[in-house]
Amino acid sequence: MTSYKELGLVNTKDMFAKAIKGGYAIPAYNFNNMEQLQAIIQACVETKSPVILQVSKGARDYANINLLRNMARGAGEYAKELGCEIPIVLHLDHGDSFETCKECIDNGFSSVMIDGSHLPYEENIAITKKVVEYAHERDVTVEGELGVLAGIEDDVVAEVSHYTKPEEVVDFVNRTGCDSLAISIGTSHGANKFEPSQCTRNEEGVLIPPPLRFDILEEIEKQLPGFPIVLHGSSSVPMQYVNMILQYGGKLKDSVGIPEEQLRKAAKSAVCKINIDSDGRLAMTAVIRKTLAEKPEEFDPRKYLGPARDELKKMYMHKNINVLGSANHA
């Protein structure tokens, strides 16, 4: 048993309260390996931003929970060494069962998501409540979810999104005791967030997605004033990375994300956690492809992972400063 407090981590409570008051959102960046973690910490230290390090079930399977826990501990020490002590949360992304959440809490996670969004309403309440009871006894915070995002949620694939019903949120939060709520207002996971048929195209043929349902968000805020809201599926799928991947032999089709100005608008509201994974994957892949194409003689992984890490850092800094507004709030 390891408490997150021994690892120098914090839960989301203070972070979210400050973010709602201050009109910004905390970045929740997924990581699976050392280079991603280095880029996240370097970017958040340089921008003086709090950060949520997210680990999915896939990341746990890929990297091992013991290693991940110690990487999170190391991340805090690394930040201090870089000259800024930033608040760091280690969060389970899309926890799929009570047992998974418990295992993470027992292994030093300071926050967990129990994703019961695909379950019938009463079952979602029951499982979320069970996780909250275990977590709160250990001062760990819990994110629940109401509404279903289109796309892939770890192993769960939904064809269409079901927007969160504002009339359910108060009952859900009161009966589960969750600390934050992920909602569905039109975001979705991955690099193909919308079908081309749902979009329009600009003069260059770039897909322009339908706007997020800010009307639903506003209604939810009215129902739950001051309550922390979470947006999943919030990569903006930058075209410069998509184009670089295509230029250097990759195959992506009809990629489209959430425009930055919509995320900026959401970050100013009760949305205080914005989840970003796919953009990191795109940036890393783009630079690795470019480097290997331009320097075919290289076979030292540091020679292509290093430049990828630098690009990732640049991207995260941009998000903290210009999109989420979390810079200077550590």
Element (H, E) at 279: helix 278-294
Instruction: Enumerate residues 269-288 that contact ligand 13P by CB under 6 A.
Output: 275-279
Residue 235 binding ligand 13P, by CB under 6 A: yes
Residue 59 binding result from ligand 13P, ligand G3H, Zn ion, none, given CB thresholds of 5 to 8 Å by partner type: ligand G3H
93 among known catalytic residues: yes
**Cβ-based nearer residue to ligand 13P, 108 or 190:** 190
Q: In the bound complex, what is the minimum distance in angstroms from residue 71's beta carbon to ligand 13P?
A: 18
CB count in 10 Å sphere of residue 255: 22
CA distances for 131 relative to 36, 143, 144, 177, angstroms? 29, 10, 10, 10
Instruction: Enumerate residues 130-189 that contact ligand 13P by CB under 6 A.
Output: 189
Q: Name the catalytic one among 93, 96, 179, 277.
A: 93
Record the tokens describing residue 147, joined without a space: 């509404």
Residue from 139, 154, 168, 218 binding ligand G3H (CB under 6 A): 154
Residue 192 binding ligand G3H, by CB under 6 A: no
CA angle 156, 99, 16 (to 5 degrees): 75
| Per-residue interface string for the shown chain with ligand 13P, residues 26-65, x marking contact by CB under 6 A | ----x-----------------------------------
Q: What is the dihedral of CA 66, 96, 178, 5, to 10 degrees?
A: 0
When CB distances to Zn ion are compared, the closest residue is 232
Instruction: Enumerate residues 55-94 that contact ligand G3H by CB under 6 A.
Output: 56, 58-59, 93-94
Residue 30 binding ligand G3H, by CB under 6 A: yes
Residue from 73, 189, 273, 329 binding ligand G3H (CB under 6 A): 189
Record the tokens describing residue 210, joined without a space: 């339908």
CB 250 within 8 A of CB 289: yes
Residue from 57, 69, 129, 232 binding Zn ion (CB under 5 A): 232
**Residues found in the chain:** 330
Residues 6+ positions from 325 with CB-CB distance below 8 Å: 22, 23, 24, 25, 264, 267, 268
Distance between CA 10 and CA 140 in Å, rounded? Answer: 9
Q: Which residues bind ligand G3H (CB under 6 A)?
A: 30, 56, 58-59, 93-94, 153-154, 189, 277
The residues assigned a catalytic role are 93
